[in-house]
Amino acid sequence: MKQTADLKPQRVRGFTVAGVHAGMKKNGALDFALIVADRDCVAAGVFTKNQSKAAPVLVSQEHLAARATSIRAVAINTTSANAMTGRVGVENARITARMVAAKLGVQPEQVLVMSTGVIGTHLPMPKIEQGIELAFAQLGADWESAARGIMTTDTRPKMASLRVLSADGEYTITGISKGAGMIAPNMATMLGVIVTDAELSREHAMIALRFATDRSFNRIVVDGDTSTNDAVFLLASGASGVHLRTTADMHQFNEALLIVAQSLAQQIVRDGEGATKFITLEVVGARSDAEAHAIGHTIAASPLVKTAFYGGDANWGRIVAAAGRAPALFNPDTARLLIGRGEALTDDAPGLLLFENGLPTRYSEAEASAIFREADIIVRLELGLGNGAATVWTCDLSHEYVSINGDYRS
């Protein structure tokens, strides 16, 4: 049986955290988070592929390039994305890192920064400074506050933990993330920080993070937009004393990290802006995994598919039409489409076959509609062209999404 992540965040040796209200959110909610390591960490990051990279992305990329084996903290603010803010924005990101570093008595390059919020506004530096002060005063094990401190239009914090028993002993992986809108799979696609007390090499940290993000954060779609600020960091303190020496140990870590990352990614989809449904899109039989992913992404990003799910309308033709315009080979004559309840089709619940041999089957419309009205829906598209497979998670497009995004800044 597949291991699942614990939604209650577990303490990780070597790390303390805090989430505070620094006066940025008008409603008094937590708006600044800090993650601090008591020793040098091996760290890796994946970043947005958007060509308009926010200042914190540019600065964190620099710092990781310089100090990937001695990162000591991550500082995260909300309300301002510090994107499209020019040299002043980059300087503000550097000042944030410098202030945190001064508190820790380390170099500024040992601090990573993240921002989320409105594009084109400068960081409110006095409030950032206040956030740092408050956060240092409250550093502890309260991961939930940290997760709340990075929320924007999220309605709930995203947290996941996993304890792993390796050949060399036990270690923990804990992560937080935020999402809600501007979510599409293009490298890392939101903010996420995952820490572990296992000891990793720099190379393994990067490989593990790529492996996990490619199969988690890069497989979710809320609205198809890719932010200027997307980033996911992995920090490994080594404080458990557990070394991952063998290939088996490394694989075990990669799979454990993937479980935590998938949990965080799926929590983002479930809390997508205005989402009322959680849809698992399983594409199999493609010429390659990449083509399966391309088809899954095109279906997941289609406004017509998403509104059909919202309306509980079993308008499956939109799914096949979206597959047909994806940048990957698709042949309706060899394709089969099944739908079911929950997150996977099983032998006991094999799903309802809607489309086969280029034709709708004689399925029951009542049964199809009943499935489309569920909150958790699994869609399986079998292409019959090869062995490529990918699973993409998405949500529906609701009136509430339009309300939230038509009115975000006010």
User: Which residues are known catalytic residues?
Assistant: 189
In a 3-state reduction of DSSP, which class is residue 135?
helix
* Count of CA atoms in the C-beta half-sphere (13 A) of 183: 35
Instruction: Give the dihedral sign, CA 176/182/183/185.
Output: negative
Q: Rule CB under 8 A: is residue 96 a binding residue for its own copies? A: no
Among 29, 165, 344, 408, binds its own copies (CB under 8 A): 408
Pick the closer one to its own copies by CB: 130 or 276: 276
Neighbours of 114 (CB within 10 A): 30
Among 120, 126, 169, 384, binds its own copies (CB under 8 A): 120
Among 9, 19, 45, 181, binds its own copies (CB under 8 A): 181
Q: Rule CB under 8 A: is residue 331 a binding residue for its own copies? A: yes
Segment 26-85, which members bind its own copies (CB under 8 A)? 49-53, 81, 83-85
**What is the distance between the alpha carbons of residues 304 and 186, in angstroms, rounded to a whole number?**
21
Kind and range of the H or E run holding 47 = strand 32-47
Pick the closer one to its own copies by CB: 66 or 402: 402
Pull the structure tokens for residue 235.
Answer: 């920090």
Q: Rule CB under 8 A: is residue 402 a binding residue for its own copies? A: yes
Position 370, amino acid: A
**What is the distance between the alpha carbons of residues 302 and 322, in angstroms, rounded to a whole number?**
7
On whether the CB atoms of residues 179 and 62 are closer than 8 A, the answer is no
Q: Rule CB under 8 A: is residue 142 a binding residue for its own copies? A: no
Among 23, 124, 285, 311, binds its own copies (CB under 8 A): 311
Min dist CB 325 to its own copies, Å, is 4
Pick the closer one to its own copies by CB: 23 or 311: 311
Neighbours of 120 (CB within 10 A): 11
Among 31, 154, 197, 223, binds its own copies (CB under 8 A): 223
Pick the closer one to its own copies by CB: 255 or 400: 400
Segment 227-246, which members bind its own copies (CB under 8 A)? 227-228
Q: Rule CB under 8 A: is residue 201 a binding residue for its own copies? A: no
Among 44, 205, 236, 320, binds its own copies (CB under 8 A): 320
Q: Which stretch binds its own copies (CB under 8 A): 21-29, 170-178, 203-211, 302-310?
A: 302-310
Pull the structure tokens for residue 378.
Answer: 């699994």
Which x/- pattern over 252-281 shows residues binding its own copies (rule: CB under 8 A)?
A: ------------------------------
Q: Cα separations (Å) of 101 from 73, 109, 212, 223?
A: 8, 8, 29, 36
Pick the closer one to its own copies by CB: 99 or 191: 191
DSSP secondary structure string, 255-287?
Answer: HHHHHHHHHHHHHHHHT-TT---EEEEEEEEES
* Count of CA atoms in the C-beta half-sphere (13 A) of 14: 25
End-to-end Cα distance, the chain: 47
Radius of gyration (C-alpha) of the chain in whole angstroms = 22
Min dist CB 171 to its own copies, Å, is 36
Which residues of this chain interact with its own copies, rule CB under 8 A?
A: 49-53, 81, 83-88, 118-121, 181-182, 186, 223-228, 301-304, 307-308, 310-313, 315-318, 320-325, 329-333, 355, 357-360, 397-399, 401-403, 405-410
